[in-house]
Amino acid sequence: MADGQFWRFKVRYNIYVALILSLLLVMILYSLSRVGFFLFNRAFFQGMDANRFLTIAAGGLRFDLSATLYSNSLFILLMIVPFTFRFSAWYKVVLKWVFIVCNTIAFAANSADIIYYRFTLRRTTLSVFNQFENETNLGKLFFRFLIDYWYAFFFFLLLVGLLVWGYNKIRFEGPQSKKPWLFYGLNTLAMLVAVGLFIGGARGGFRESTRPITLSNAAAYAKEPNDVNLVLNTPFALMRTAKANVIKKVHYYESQQELEKYFNPLKTPTDSSRFKSKNVVVIILESFSKEFVGAYNQSWEKEGYKGYTPFLDSLISHSQSFKYSMANGRKSIDAMPSVICSVPSIEVPYVLSHFSGNKVNSLPILLKEKGYYTAFFHGAPNGSMGFDAFANQSGFADYFGKDEYGNDHDYDGIWGIWDEKFLQYFSKKMSGFKQPFYTTLFTVSSHHPYQLPEEYQNKFKGGSLPIYRTIEYTDWALKRFFQTASKTDWFKNTLFVITADHASAEIQYPQYNTAWGYFSIPLIFYEPGREVVGMKDELVQQVDILPSILGYLGYDQPYVAFGRDVFSAEERPFAFNYLNNTYQFFQGNYLLQFDGQKSIALFDFKADPFLKNNEMNALPDTVSNMQARLRALIQQYNNRMVDDNLTKEGSQLDVLSKKKN
């Protein structure tokens, strides 16, 4: 009995137990704060029921844990350093005040958002400092807010009171071991374990395929778009946007009429043709540079060029393809909004920006209006890259990942289910869907470290770069997919769109080691049974996919898109992306580079693929024309992003407002 009491005594006052209890206290207060946030703003969360709120609260724990660890990082460090002075009276006083001050600041920000949210309808990010940097009466505003919204201030004081009360109940004594070698050995080991746990908790997971969680990941737990703001907490939003560039409004054009003369993302279809309820399948290939695809590089074969995609080459000969097809970004997370929502990433990836919670048009949302079932497929562990969150935000009805696949025997051990297996699963699942359906699949196997399934180690020989073997494998997996799909009842009633998320970092041919080559990817539209003339000598980009699909189907409602319908001759082909803090705009034969204030270079990228000759001074009219259109595009993008005006509803309200004024 005495021994049992002794050990309970020791565990109760162990410093690491005290650390865990302290952090748990903060987590509980974050959950209480979430309840308060909802109660004070319940008018903005209509139809909230218990199940919906429990999903939000459970998902919010990931973000609360991250915020708790970040805001208490100094406290944690002071608690885990393996020295005996941690147990002295003066040190405990320091620990107490570090804990209380750091968390008081965090809860002050969280509580302030209880009120500020109703003005912005989004969690506060670091852009708030830019917003108020020129205000001279912040002191008066602060005290006015304290008076007008006293109940939020009282709620904040309640949280701080509970924080202090709870911390005072947590005590620890020690050291437990009198032997120095044992004390320092065990505590050094405990410190290393604590650091590992800190990293995993702060980034939102331990898996190699999981990116550190950011604002956009909250969408995975949101049944309604504004639920994202309940899932998140303000300290997390502030910390996660600390290093992100802030998209700011620009005013190259003062007149809306002049702005829209050069570029207007609000598409208003005029074609009254009957809507075609055809299935749509979009396949996004991991790291598939156009450099790897022989059909795009036939003119170089005499120079020793070799392609690695025999199936895609054959499919392109029966598809609508384009000689100059571009990605709008260099990351997988750039591709998702570009392909699915026609929203590019400029300056900062959209899903990592302060505005990642904005409402967007998307293919799932728009096609749902026409009775489509929608689903997103990604063979990686659920949560990888935040794709499940973005799929949910984009309106997909269902998400199918590694968890739904349910057979780890086909898992590559790092990124996900092997492409061949998952593409067969993809085909089988679609055969069970009610038509019409819209699906998107993202492959995984052509990713570093470029592994192959054991049974195919000798089948694909590759070439000088390690990625070539996995490119051959995924191309073969695509062939197997189309062979299987061609036997289904939905195949002939389907438009297939095949593209890549971005170009690969593996580059062999110097032509692709250029400002245009870094973004060169395949983009093809294939409709079984429909013959095409051949590859068009045109520019096309990822953000063209949404308007092209809608135009092909005969969609008849307004929508917002930053690309064009490639099946229509109404808009002049163009492409744009962002590289090294420079905007790149492609039109006709030319690439214009623009630093945000002025044009800095103009190249004929077709005749001069290595971009050796800057023709800006020789062709001032071309520069002027392209710069005018690019400035309009940037202004439309930035200002609509800041104003949360990326949907047809927002644009129509904007038009009505201008008419009234």
Give the percent of the chain with pLDDT over 90. 60
pLDDT tens for each residue of 471-484: 999 999 999 999 99
Report whether pLDDT(208) > 80: no
pLDDT of res. 657: 42
pLDDT of res. 139: 67
**Phi then psi for 307, rounded to 5 degrees?**
-95, 165
Distance CA 450, CA 452 (A): 7
pLDDT confidence band for 4 (50 / 70 / 90): very low
Mean pLDDT of 502-510: 89
pLDDT of res. 655: 44
In Å, what is the CA distance from 174 to each residue of 9, 87, 286? 11, 6, 54
Report whether pLDDT(1) > 70: no
Report whether pLDDT(281) > 90: yes
Distance CA 357, CA 390 (A): 10
Report whether pLDDT(439) > 80: yes
pLDDT of res. 354: 76
pLDDT tens for each residue of 543-557: 999 999 999 999 999
Distance CA 328, CA 501 (A): 9
pLDDT of res. 660: 41
- The Cα diameter of the chain in Å comes to 94
Average pLDDT score, the chain: 87
Question: What is the reported pTM?
Answer: 0.75
**Can you spell out the DSSP letters for 254-284?**
S-HHHHHHH---EE-----PPPP--EEEEEE
The residue with greater pLDDT, 214 or 518, is 518
pLDDT confidence band for 9 (50 / 70 / 90): very low
Would you say the C-alpha torsion 221, 226, 232, 233 has a positive or negative sign?
A: negative
pLDDT of res. 207: 64
pLDDT of res. 200: 81
pLDDT confidence band for 656 (50 / 70 / 90): very low
pLDDT confidence band for 222 (50 / 70 / 90): confident
Which has the minimum average pLDDT: 174-188, 451-465, 636-650?
A: 174-188
Q: Domains of the chain (ranges plus CATH)?
A: 2-240 (no CATH), 275-573 (3.40.720.10)
pLDDT tens for each residue of 15-61: 888 899 999 999 999 999 999 999 988 877 888 999 999 999 999 99
Distance CA 381, CA 439 (A): 19
Would you say the C-alpha torsion 564, 567, 573, 574 has a positive or negative sign?
A: positive
- Decide if 523 contacts 282 (C-beta within 8 A): no
